[in-house]
Amino acid sequence: MAEPVVRIENVTMRFGPQAPALRGVSCVVEGGITGLVGPDGAGKTTLIRLMTGLLLPDEGRLSVLGLDTRGDMAPVQAAIGYMPQRFGLYEDLSVAENLDLYADLRGLASSERAEVFERLLSFTDLRRFTGRLAGRLSGGMKQKLGLACALLTKPRLLLLDEPSVGVDPVSRRDLWAMVRELAGDGIGVLWSTAYLDEAEACDRVLLLNAGELLFSGPPADLTRQVDGRVFRLTGVGRGRRAVLAEVLGGRGIVDGVIQGEAIRLVVAEGAQERDAAITEARSRAGVGAEVRPTPPRFEDAFIDMLGGGPGGRSQLAEASPMRAAGGDEAVIEARGLTKRFGDFTAADDISFSIPRGQIFGLLGPNGAGKSTTFKMLCGLLKPTSGEGRVAGFDLRRESAEARNQLGYMAQKFSLYGDLSVDQNLAFFAGAYGLAGPRRRERIALMKEVFALSPQSGISAKDLPLGFKQRLALACAVMHDPAALFLDEPTSGVDPVTRREFWTHINGLVEKGVTVLVTTHFMDEAEYCDRIALIYRGRAIALGSPDALRASVACPERPDPTMEDAFIALIERSRLVEAA
């Protein structure tokens, strides 16, 4: 057998006094696409950097393309393509200038250049934008350009570090097709990701957890481990969130997530345990519930491998008061929201209303206007016309009252990194006007619910990602808001942490909190009661996840996924506009 592209032998890597980032990892990377998956902080980026030679292992050895990384890395670096997490692009250089720079650095002969550029530009569909500055490209286009730069000298090994974070499904699908084509040409590709549907499509996966390699092999091998243990619970309708929480509490349930109107369950191993778990789940779900086996996915096996999901109880929700039903009055309302920047209309006459106790999702490609809409609704941007209301307050005229009613959590965990956990909590308590015993009470509750007490003196920036997520949520819900605004809240976050997050959100919604969320994760979209799909500044579709899926069902695709629906609806809108 030929030497593998990368051979890793017993590699251990430490940073400072904490637990090692990688512990005794041994594996190989061969041709085709290898997925590198694992929770945040599992050591994925460290492993990739070791392969580029930018880091050297404390123990063990790596050989890349047959060369030890401790030696001269120049020949290896000439033969690998590397796309770091933020794509490594110069934002103040144009597309063509970025390509020229990396072509020179990688020693692409000028005679071949025209041909290679031609191929890559048509491959990435960036030809129309060669003169545009990289900083002005959308997330998806940046990602394609980053890939093109990594591909200039036809590498033998392509390393992609979380290439699809913050990128919309259309662009993700394009990127995947491109990488698949490359792998067909015999390039070894290592693709690190938090999206497990991507991992499922890889030829092989490496599953890392807390610095240790848990699994290495074709994803189907892992998926097979949960064969016959995955079920769909249907007929639970609107009460599905409460049912999920209820069912997850049952014995033998490993994992459960909401999929539109249904609930997906993974049960424990062994025939006896399985049957007992199903019986209990059915009884907890109540009358009319049906349980049917369904084909397993990689994600099911992944959660199973890591020891199951986080359970369904949300102490946060339990400690929150039930919000009195205030009739059918909308808690969040958009009335003809329009925003123009010069000639460009970023959001065009967007209207919807979200009743109390519902989750509403804003979906759309990068740059389509969903962030603009979101920002207008939480008061970060003044609409050109139209108005936004939160809990009955006009965001323009009664902004302070409206803001008192809303909690906000942003993409990048916008906490004060230099402040400790306690200091962050104290600041947000104060900023929302909590004082006296109520302030002490709420802070204590947050620390208890999110298990933050052991970390209370640590700077927020030094927290593990999962704890940052918890702290951010704690700060957003500290003042018990009526409406929660979540802007890509779990972007780049692993599935386990994501489940824990949604358990809390689901619990709060059951207590009458109203949620507006933007996301690129299609499985997150499944948690929504209703979704608005924003494209080119307009809401092109509005409805429940099941309704949107149903609207694109056709004979060739009787049971489309949420991602299929997303892409099909955008295609349809493009065609209508072209006509």
Partner 1 sequence: MWWTRLKALIVKELLALLRDPKARLILVGPPLVQLLVFSYAATLDVTNIDLVVLDRDAGAASRELVQRLEGAPDFRRVVPVESEAALAAAIDRQEAIAAISIGPTFSRDIAAGVPAKVQVILDGRRSNASQIVAGYISRIIQGLGAEIAVSGRAPPPVDVVARNWFNPNLIYQWFMVPNLVASIALLIGLIVTALSIARERELGTFDQLMVSPLRTHEILIGKVIPPMLVGTVHLTLYVLAAVVVFGVPLRGSIGLLYGSALFYLLSVAGLGLFISALAATQQQAILGAFLLLVPATLLSGFATPIENMPAWLQPVTIVNPLRYFLVIVRGVFLKDLPVAEVVAQTLPLALIAAAALMSAAWLFRRRLE
Partner 2 sequence: MTSKGNSTDRTGRLRRLGALVRKEALQIVRDPSSILIAFVLPFILIFLFGYGVSLDTTRTRIGLVVEETTPSAQDLAASFRASRYFDVIDGHDRREFEEALVLGRVRGIVVIPSTFATDLAGRRPAAIQVLVDGAEPNTASFVQNYARGVVATWAAVRASETASAPVGIAVEQRFWFNPELASRYFLVPGAIAIVMTLVGTLLTSLVIAREWERGTMEALMATPVSAAELLMGKILPYFVLALAAMTLCVGLAVFLFGVPFRGSLVALYGLSAAFLMPALGQGLLISAVTKNQFLASQLALMSGFLPAFLLSGFLFEINSMPGPIRWLTLIVPARYLIPSLQSVFLAGDIWSMFLPAIAVMAGMGLVLFALAARNTAKRIA
**For residues 78 and 276, which CB has a smaller minimum distance to partner 2 in the complex?**
78
Rounded CA gap, 10 and 437, in Å?
Answer: 54
Q: Which two tokens stand for residue 101?
A: 């720079």
409, 487 contact by CB (below 8 A): yes
| Strand 530-535, strand 538-543: pairing | antiparallel
Q: If binding is defined by CB under 8 A, does position 227 make contact with partner 2?
A: no
CB of 431 to partner 1, least distance (A): 4
DSSP designation for 133: B
85 touches, from partner 1, partner 2, none (C-beta below 5 to 8 Å by class): partner 2
Which of 361, 366, 360, 368 lies closest to 166, judged by CA? 366
Among 82, 231, 298, 467, binds partner 2 (CB under 8 A): 82
**For residues 15 and 249, which CB has a smaller minimum distance to partner 2 in the complex?**
15
Among 97, 203, 349, 462, binds partner 2 (CB under 8 A): 97
CB of 92 to partner 2, least distance (A): 5
**For residues 93 and 550, which CB has a smaller minimum distance to partner 2 in the complex?**
93
**For residues 283 and 385, which CB has a smaller minimum distance to partner 1 in the complex?**
385
Residue type at position 237: G
Rounded CA gap, 106 and 431, in Å?
Answer: 51
Which pairs count as long-range contacts for 19-25, CB under 8 Å and 24+ apart, including other chains? 19/210, 19/211, 20/58, 20/211, 21/46, 21/211, 22/46, 22/47, 22/50, 22/57, 22/208, 22/211, 23/211, 23/212, 24/60, 24/212, 25/60, 25/208, 25/211, 25/212, 25/213
Among 56, 177, 220, 444, binds partner 2 (CB under 8 A): 56
**For residues 15 and 431, which CB has a smaller minimum distance to partner 2 in the complex?**
15
19 touches, from partner 1, partner 2, none (C-beta below 5 to 8 Å by class): none
DSSP string, 23-45: EEEEEEE-SEEEEEE-STTSSHH
Q: Quick one: how far is CA 423 from the chain centroid?
A: 28
Which of 276, 265, 216 lies closest to 240, judged by CA? 265
**For residues 85 and 345, which CB has a smaller minimum distance to partner 2 in the complex?**
85
Q: If binding is defined by CB under 8 A, does position 491 make contact with partner 2?
A: no
CB of 91 to partner 2, least distance (A): 7
Residues binding partner 1 (CB under 8 A): 375, 378-382, 400, 403-404, 406, 408, 410-412, 414-420, 423, 426-435, 459, 475, 485
**For residues 404 and 573, which CB has a smaller minimum distance to partner 1 in the complex?**
404
Rounded CA gap, 252 and 277, in Å?
Answer: 5
311 touches, from partner 2, partner 1, none (C-beta below 5 to 8 Å by class): none
Among 23, 32, 68, 73, binds partner 2 (CB under 8 A): 73
- How large is the angle between the packed helices 421-431 and 465-477, nearest 10 degrees? 20
84 touches, from partner 1, partner 2, none (C-beta below 5 to 8 Å by class): partner 2
Which residue matches tokens 């972007």?
Answer: 491
Which of 200, 164, 201 lies closest to 183, judged by CA? 201
Among 64, 80, 253, 505, binds partner 2 (CB under 8 A): 80
Among 61, 90, 273, 394, binds partner 2 (CB under 8 A): 90
Q: Which two tokens stand for residue 139?
A: 């997330």
Q: How many residues make contact with partner 2 (CB under 8 A)?
A: 37
Stretch of 79-87, 186-194, 317-325, 336-344 lying at the interface with partner 2 (CB under 8 A): 79-87
Residues that bind partner 2 (CB under 8 A): 15, 49, 52-56, 72-75, 77-78, 80, 82-93, 97, 100-107, 133, 149
